[in-house]
Amino acid sequence: MSSESLPPIPAVQTNGLTRTYGNMTALSALDLTVNRGDLFGFIGSNGAGKTTTLRILATFLAPSAGTARVMGHDVVKEANAVRHVIGYMPDFFGVYKDMEVTEYLDFFGACYKIPTVQREKTVNDVLELVGLSEKKGALIGALSRGMQQRLGLARVLIHDPQLLLLDEPASGLDPRARIEMMAILQELQRLGKTIIISSHILSELQTLCNRVAIIEKGKLIYSGPVQGVRDQMASGLVVWVRVAAETERAILLLNERPEVAGVEQVEGRLKVTMSGHDVDHSFVAEVLVRGGLKLVELKEDELGLEEVFLRVTRGETQ
């Protein structure tokens, strides 16, 4: 069997994963699979259950029911084994502001029992990876928010984990720092890391992640490829058209085509919905021009994750 036909190997597998707090259900029967090598986006509004899931995967929280396996290890029965293969970065983490950058990382290297002779090289390597090499001797308190986030990422990389669990790593960052963080995550994926990143900044995950899951009110709504979520939530490909005149005639011409599911007029433009997602919409211009109409605008409506998220969630949180 060729390597191309081999099925993907799960890095994370949950079955019926549930967490309750008294009468409140934070997570309800979550069945989730994240494959090795994925840069996986975990999407949901605040309180949807993202942090609860990540804390269970990181062995900090016991599930009320169901199971979760990380790199083949059960998070309850084999918690120590799980901790050695993961790097968990919570949405808010404390930093020792009076420590120097290298001192901070050396401390965590010692916690992971990295031998003293190896630690200096390991610290230098992770600092280079997150772009902080020039800040080795700086006090943590003097670093910007973006640099502190990158230092937090360096800390979870110190023991070379296979899986990174990152809870809102771009939270509170300015646009430049956010872009830098996303570039680092892409580089880590290229180096073979599996990454789960939770966020509600959907537009960034759209281009960053190869697979996503959408969670609402503790329940999984969708899990799969980024394109798949758009296809599932949209009724069909939409093309926006504007003609110089004779709008009614344009509607008649387009409605005659079997590829068109419907045409409606919206604020001077025509919203043309195709019968499916894989329809080649190049015929639209041809039909209108051949019909003697002057085409002013033709634009495909790209359904982004932001729009999908608004469609499938109603803002309901615990």
Would you call 170 exposed, middle or buried from its count of C-beta atoms within 10 A (0-12, 13-18, 19+)? buried
What are the boundaries of each domain within the chain? 3-231, 235-302
Is 80 exceeded by the pLDDT of residue 278?
Answer: no
Report how far residue 12's alpha carbon sits from residue 73's, in angstroms, rounded to the nearest whole number. 9
In this chain, the answer to whether the domains covering 3-231 and 235-302 adopt an identical fold is no
Between CA 100 and CA 117 the distance in angstroms is 19
The candidate with the shortest Cα–Cα distance to 210, out of 76, 85, 40, 4, is 40
Predicted TM-score of the model (pTM): 0.76
Give all strands of the β-sheet with 163-167 in edge-to-edge order: 86-89, 163-167, 194-199, 39-43, 211-216, 219-225
Q: CA nearest 162: which of 42, 73, 71?
A: 71
Using CA atoms of 38, 209, 15, 83 in order, give the dihedral in degrees to the nearest 10: 60
Domain 3-231 part of CATH 3.40.50.720: no
pLDDT (0 to 100) of residue 314 = 53
pLDDT at residue 317 in the model: 39
Using CA atoms in the order 143, 112, 196, 75, what is the torsion angle rounded to 10 degrees?
-140
Does pLDDT of 170 surpass 90? no
Residue 87 has pLDDT above 70, yes or no: yes
Q: Compute CA distances 6 → 9, 10, 71, whole Å.
A: 9, 12, 17
Q: How many other CB atoms sit within 10 Å of the CB of residue 23?
A: 5
Average of per-residue pLDDT across 48-73: 95
* Contact (Cβ atoms closer than 8 angstroms) between residue 47 and residue 318: yes
- In whole angstroms, what is the distance from residue 158 CA to residue 127 CA? 10
Q: What is the mean pLDDT of residues 51-77?
A: 96
Return the minimum-mean-pLDDT range out of 28-37, 155-164, 220-229. 220-229
Fold observed for domain 235-302: Alpha-Beta Plaits (3.30.70)
**Residue entry with tokens 């928010």:** 145
